Amino acid sequence: MMAQRTGRAVAAARLRLGDALTKHVVSDFSANGAEVVAKLRQDKPLEYVKLVQAILEKEDAGAAALNATYNVIERHIIQPPEDTDS
């Protein structure tokens, strides 16, 4: 039981940290604009690619979760029409 609580606490802490980092990055981007991203792309192309990859992976994870949720709904809630040819 204690391990389960610890796992939930760690997960909650990661969510809080992720939220805080996201807010900081959005704030930084809002303040400094696209020039910083362009400078990163020019000066450190590998880091730029890593940034793009991280953003896309996060979007893909969200899309995968939505798709998985839809598949569960489709399988368990939406019933196929009954065969009326019998």
Whether residue 17 lies inside any domain: the answer is: yes
- Indicate the number of domains in the chain: 2
Please state the rounded mean pLDDT for residues 59-70: 65
- Tell me what pLDDT residue 80 has: 55
- Tell me what pLDDT residue 57 has: 78
For residue 37, count other CB atoms closer than 10 A to its CB.
14
| 27 and 37 fall within a common domain | no
> pTM of the prediction?
0.45
Whose CA is closest to 70, among 61, 81, 78? 78
| 26 and 40 fall within a common domain | no
The backbone torsions φ and ψ at residue 44, rounded to the nearest 5 degrees and listed phi first, read -140, 75
Q: How far apart are the first and last CA of the chain?
A: 53
Does 77 score more than 60 pLDDT? Answer: no
List pLDDT tens digits, range 3-36: 677 878 888 888 888 788 778 877 888 888 788 8
Query: Domain of 71?
Result: 33-78
Q: What sign results for the dihedral spanned by CA atoms 17, 19, 21, 27?
A: negative
Whether residue 85 lies inside any domain: the answer is: no
Determine if residue 74 is left, alpha or beta; phi over 0 gives left, psi from -120 to 50 gives alpha, anything else beta: alpha
Whether residue 86 lies inside any domain: the answer is: no
